[in-house]
Amino acid sequence: MKNYDVIFIGSGHANWHAAVTLKQAGKSVAMIEKDQIAGTCTNYGCDPKILLDGPFELLAQLKQYNGIGVTDNTAINWTELMAYKHKAIDPLPLQMTALFNQLGIDIVMGAAKLIDTNTVAVNEQKLTAKNIVIGTGQRPAKLNIPGREFLHDSRDFLDLETMPQKITFIGAGIISLEFATIAVELGSTVEIIEFADHALSSFDQYHVAKLVAKLEAAGVKFHFNEAAAQVIAKGDHFEISTTNNLQIKTDYVIDATGRIPNIENIGLEEIAIQTTRGGIVVDDHLRTSVNNIYASGDVIDKQIPRLTPTATFESNYIAQQLLGNDTAINYPAIPSVVFSLPRLAQIGVTTREAEASDKYHTQVVPYGKQLLFQYKNEVDAELTLILDQDNYLVGANIYGNDAPDLINLITMIIDGHLSATALDQMIFAFPSSSIGVISLISTLLHRD
Ligand SMILES: Cc1cc2nc3c(=O)[nH]c(=O)nc-3n(C[C@H](O)[C@H](O)[C@H](O)COP(=O)(O)OP(=O)(O)OC[C@H]3O[C@@H](n4cnc5c(N)ncnc54)[C@H](O)[C@@H]3O)c2cc1C
Ligand SMILES: NC(=O)c1ccc[n+]([C@@H]2O[C@H](COP(=O)([O-])OP(=O)(O)OC[C@H]3O[C@@H](n4cnc5c(N)ncnc54)[C@H](O)[C@@H]3O)[C@@H](O)[C@H]2O)c1
């Protein structure tokens, strides 16, 4: 039986950052993975998604010059793009495995199960360790309705060789809105069934409404207040009916009604690790109810966004814990982005929280209009800043193609508690899109 300092169950961002740090610090480390090395983000999530999205973003920007210099927009060849995706993404697990092996991390392929508080079974072997970290992530939820066998998920979409002519998404969450943006641009008839009366419930609803209107103008049909009830196969197509008897004919159905934690069949009940429907319960040191076993990433029962940067933050935190630092975890402000076109991003105090408290005030900055050519004629791009009573930035929402980068800039202003005076001490490259937004924000920020 092989004995380690630390065994990691799962090889996603929740675990591999810590595995590398601990190995480099001289610990013996094993990482067990039952599917593809490097987990969801690398193989079935952020990375393939953003690769496929690239030309769609460029096309959206080109369209902003229609009638003022650009006449003929390029068409996207999805099948060719998908071939490129396979070429770029498929080798990543092997490359990451080689990197981990080179560092001296033992990689074990197979489904891990805890036998006792120090022992993990995988295939026919048993491995022991002083500490174990569970980072088993999440999987797509699957609706329990008649015809569920016809439902596809995000992984299937990111592997589609040809885009179906008619595609229907169940759920108007992040995954649906990102993928609907792509499908409608390729000319598919896109419908979205959502049981709430709005989309993207955790995002600023003023910006969400603008995004929904933009997608509707592009041809996406939203059916709010509708819950999918059954899917029937009829010849070469499918018929979806809702609880209100709405009928939709479609070629392909994606169930994007959320993601659920992988907590089953890994021995948690046997050794009394506490879980809820939301995942593994941890304390403020990311320890489970069994003291030497930690949990990290998407599988944790947590209120913060389940994202790659939060999984990475937790992984780095656990590495430091296992190297002797005993401070409780303290999350900074966490940005979230919806990679639709335009993008939505948000961080920190929300507009809803700001409206309910006299500690904050909000300011809308229509930077698309104010910085027209720096932002490539994206006229409707705007951001809402949330400021505290001393005019320090505590939150923001962005609607615009540049949101993923702008929100990082704003993250630094929030985390650094930067005033306008502090920003004045820095020199930024000019002309650039960011310097424009920095100057607009500066006029509103605290001055010493
Ligand atoms: C379509 C899509 C797009 C996304 N886009 C973004 C984005 O743009 N930005 C962003 O920040 N986040 C995005 N995410 C979320 C991001 O992928 C996750 O937050 C991140 O992957 C979480 O990392 P993790 O290590 O906790 O889990 P995972 O990456 O899911 O890793 C868990 C690993 O554990 C393995 N495992 C499970 N059970 C066992 C077992 N018993 N034994 C051994 N191994 C096991 C799994 O096979 C998996 O490889 C996206 C997710 C999806 C699905
Ligand atoms: N850009 C990103 O960061 C990114 C991108 C993709 C995925 N992710 C990850 O995936 C998660 C999002 O996954 P998602 O989009 O599947 O979930 P979600 O929670 O964002 O959205 C699910 C939607 O489905 C609706 N719904 C649930 N049951 C329904 C039913 N029976 N009929 C109709 N509608 C129903 C819900 O009301 C909700 O609006 C994120 O939380 C994140 O962890 C992140």
Helix (H, G, I), strand (E, B) or coil at 55: helix
User: How far is 21 from 27, CA to CA, in rounded Å?
Assistant: 9
User: How far is 373 from 242, CA to CA, in rounded Å?
Assistant: 45
Residue 431 CA to ligand 1 center (angstroms) comes to 38
| Domain assignment present for 336 | no
Question: What DSSP string runs through 100-155?
Answer: HHHHTPEEEES-EEEEETTEEEETTEEEEEEEEEE---EEE----STTGGGEE-HH
CB atoms within 10 A of CB 69: 8
| Domain assignment present for 332 | no
Residue 390 sits in the same domain as residue 407: yes
Closest CA to 368 of 356, 378, 376, 358: 378
Closest CA to 409 of 389, 425, 428: 428
**CB distance 137 to 127 below 8 Å:** no
Per residue in 333-382, pLDDT (tens digit) is 999 999 999 999 999 999 999 999 999 999 999 999 999 999 999 999 99
Nearest CA to ligand 2 atom 14: 258
User: What per-residue confidence (pLDDT) applies to 80?
Assistant: 98
Residue 194 sits in the same domain as residue 47: no
Q: Which numbered atom of ligand 1 lies nearest the CA of 339?
A: 8
Closest CA to 319 of 109, 3, 13: 13
User: How far is 343 from 404, CA to CA, in rounded Å?
Assistant: 7
User: What per-residue confidence (pLDDT) applies to 395?
Assistant: 98
User: How far is 221 from 167, CA to CA, in rounded Å?
Assistant: 11
The type of residue at 108 is V
The closest ligand to the CA of 261 turns out to be: 1
Laid out side by side, the sheet with 336-338 consists of 336-338, 344-348, 393-399, 382-388, 360-365
Q: Cβ neighbours of residue 165 under 8 Å, at least 6 residues apart?
A: 188, 189, 251
| Domain assignment present for 329 | no
Cα distances (angstroms) measured from residue 44 to each of 14, 85, 217: 15, 11, 29
User: How far is 63 from 350, CA to CA, in rounded Å?
Assistant: 31
User: How far is 306 from 405, CA to CA, in rounded Å?
Assistant: 19
Domain boundary residue, one of 219, 235, 257: 257
Residue 69 sits in the same domain as residue 177: no
Helix (H, G, I), strand (E, B) or coil at 295: strand
- ipTM of model over 0.90: yes
Nearest CA to ligand 1 atom 20: 308
User: What per-residue confidence (pLDDT) applies to 1?
Assistant: 80
- How, if at all, do strands 138-140 and 393-399 pair? unpaired
H/E segment holding residue 434: helix 433-442
**CB distance 13 to 313 below 8 Å:** no
DSSP annotation of 23:
H
Residue 12 sits in the same domain as residue 123: yes
Residue 7 sits in the same domain as residue 122: yes
State percent of the chain over pLDDT 70.
100
Per the structure, the complete domain to which residue 244 belongs is given by 148-257
Residue 127 sits in the same domain as residue 274: yes
User: What per-residue confidence (pLDDT) applies to 72?
Assistant: 78
pLDDT category of residue 133 using cuts at 50, 70 and 90: very high
Residue 140 CA to ligand 2 center (angstroms) comes to 9
User: What per-residue confidence (pLDDT) applies to 346?
Assistant: 98
Which region, left, alpha or beta, applies to residue 247 given φ > 0 means left and ψ of -120 to 50 means alpha?
A: beta
Domain boundary residue, one of 211, 232, 257: 257
Residue 250 sits in the same domain as residue 267: no
Q: Was 176 annotated as part of a binding site?
A: yes
Helix (H, G, I), strand (E, B) or coil at 170: strand
| Domain assignment present for 136 | yes
Structure token digits, residue 163: 């885009």
Nearest CA to ligand 2 atom 35: 171
Mean pLDDT score, 87-100: 98
User: What per-residue confidence (pLDDT) applies to 181?
Assistant: 98
Q: How many CA atoms lie within 13 A of 289 on its CB side?
A: 13
User: How far is 441 from 428, CA to CA, in rounded Å?
Assistant: 14
Residue 100 sits in the same domain as residue 234: no
- CATH number of the domain to which 434 belongs: 3.30.390.30
DSSP annotation of 365:
E
Nearest CA to ligand 2 atom 28: 257
User: How far is 153 from 220, CA to CA, in rounded Å?
Assistant: 19
Q: Cβ neighbours of residue 67 under 8 Å, at least 6 residues apart?
A: none
Residue 98 sits in the same domain as residue 175: no
Residue 101 sits in the same domain as residue 181: no
pLDDT category of residue 409 using cuts at 50, 70 and 90: very high
Closest CA to 443 of 363, 361, 359: 363
Q: Which residues line ligand 2 (CB under 6 A)?
A: 143, 170-176, 178, 193-196, 201, 227-228, 256-259, 306-307, 336-339
Largest CA distance in the chain: 70
User: What per-residue confidence (pLDDT) applies to 436?
Assistant: 95
Report how many domains make up the chain. 3
User: What per-residue confidence (pLDDT) applies to 430?
Assistant: 95
Q: What is the mean pLDDT of the chain?
A: 97
| Domain assignment present for 448 | no
Per residue in 230-254, pLDDT (tens digit) is 999 999 999 999 999 999 999 999 9
Per residue in 105-127, pLDDT (tens digit) is 999 999 999 999 999 999 999 99
Residue 314 sits in the same domain as residue 353: no
Domain boundary residue, one of 234, 257, 280: 257
Residue 16 sits in the same domain as residue 133: yes
| Domain assignment present for 327 | no
